[in-house]
Amino acid sequence: MLLIRVTARHRPKSMLGSHGRGTDRRGAHNGSLAVAATWSWLCIDMVLDRVRARFYVPLMGSILGGDDLASLELASDEDLQRYRIGPLTPHNAPIKLAEYDPGWPALFDREADRIRTVLGSAALRIEHVGSTSVPGLAAKPIIDILLLVSDSGDEPSYLPALEAAGYVLRVREPDWFEHRLCKGPDTDVNVHVFSDGSAESDQMLIFRDRLRASDPDRELYERTKRELAGRTWRHMQHYATAKSAVVQEILGRARRSRT
């Protein structure tokens, strides 16, 4: 049975006072009706999330057959090499996912302390992002770190200090939020450098927080990852691109829940 949410916009005017509340002798009853209806709507949302998590990924897997995967707009080797520092080595294999490791936050903390030590006040914010930042979520065992600086395009303001500490610049994308990616000196990490307030850095945090807070969306994302990880990918970026539809779906719910 489908229950429809009752809001002030849909209730008869006789039920509404100046603030949309019942003002006659039925006020208490009207308020109870509104609460019950709103709760019913929330229950529907929860059920729909479970349905998405259960059926969306298998359906996607049947849709994205070999021909459909080939039709995705995947970056060419030339495109990827344009932004990479050093040679580009194809992956040409499935993606290895690891079960969540409770030790991942400690690895992030160690790297964050090291970055703060070498950059000082130039490091405006350091956050653990990506799948390893979400308890219970399977992930590639690579610690993703978001580093916010005043201007990520101004490499002399932060890169020499990172390089002196053993970090190596691997990706430079001046036309995509001035993104820079550095690898760590002794731990498998990706340090994503963005300017403070950039749209992409905000999106990374919104997505992380949604996965931490929503069991259905975390389940949906993990099922998507596992379905796609079993396929052979020429580059890791192609695997990330194939997840983009589900990522945007989850981000949409995250943004709506914040309004």
The CATH number of residue 253's host domain is 3.30.460.10
pLDDT at 252: 97
Q: Total structural domains in the chain?
A: 2
For residue 48, the enclosing domain spans 13-54
Task: Please tell me the pTM assigned to this model.
Answer: 0.75
Instruction: Examine the domain organization and report whether 47 and 71 are in the same domain.
Output: no
Instruction: Examine the domain organization and report whether 126 and 42 are in the same domain.
Output: no
Is 97 contained in some domain? yes
Low-confidence ranges of the chain (pLDDT < 70): 1-71
pLDDT at 259: 83
Write a three-state SS string for the chain: CCCCCCCCCCCCHHHCCCCCCCCCCCHHHHHHHHHHHHHHHHHHHHHHHHHHHHHHHHHHHHHCCHHHHHHCCCCCHHHHHHHECCCCCCCCECCCCECCCCCHHHHHHHHHHHHHHHHHHHCCEEEEECHHHCCCCCECCCEEEEEEECCCCCHHHCHHHHHHCCCEEEEEECCCCCEEEEECCCCCEEEEEEECCCHHHHHHHHHHHHHHHCHHHHHHHHHHHHHHHCCCECCHHHHHHHCHHHHHHHHHHHHHHHC
pLDDT at 187: 95
pLDDT digits (tens, 9 = 90+) for 193-241: 999 999 999 999 999 999 999 999 999 999 999 999 999 999 999 999 9
Instruction: Examine the domain organization and report whether 191 and 211 are in the same domain.
Output: yes
pLDDT at 71: 63
Among 5, 27, 54, the domain-final residue is 54
pLDDT at 72: 76
Instruction: Examine the domain organization and report whether 48 and 172 are in the same domain.
Output: no
Instruction: Examine the domain organization and report whether 39 and 135 are in the same domain.
Output: no
Do 132 and 145 form a contact (C-beta atoms < 8 A)? no
pLDDT at 38: 38
Instruction: Examine the domain organization and report whether 172 and 253 are in the same domain.
Output: yes
Instruction: Examine the domain organization and report whether 40 and 89 are in the same domain.
Output: no
pLDDT at 73: 86
pLDDT at 25: 40
Instruction: Examine the domain organization and report whether 25 and 96 are in the same domain.
Output: no
